[in-house]
Amino acid sequence: MVDLIEEGGGNIVFFDTWIGNHYYSQTIDENILKSEKSPLDLLVLRFKNNIYGDHSVPNYLEHKVSIIEDYYHSYKKKNGKRLGVINHIIKFCDHISLMS
């Protein structure tokens, strides 16, 4: 899909995927990193604290829309250009498709 958009003259300015913005915006305090001995415990901690993540159905949609709106307004203010949003839902990703 990205190739199709770019080959048609479009520019991708924000590509939010499973390993996109939300994934990299999550940080764990350095003291916690030093205190935890098991990588599995860190993974569990990440999912416990990830209340806005893709698998946290009650909070996901409102948070995702809020991020997109903030990015849209910020980009428009900075560049004077409007953006289009393409929402691509992964096939069989039921909880996302039910909310859209």
Widest Cα–Cα separation across the chain: 50
Domain count across the chain:
1
Domain that holds residue 14: 2-99
Chain centroid to Cα 100, Å, comes to 15
pLDDT band at 73 (very low <50, low <70, confident <90, very high): very high
pLDDT at 21: 63
pLDDT band at 66 (very low <50, low <70, confident <90, very high): confident
Q: Specify the pTM.
A: 0.56
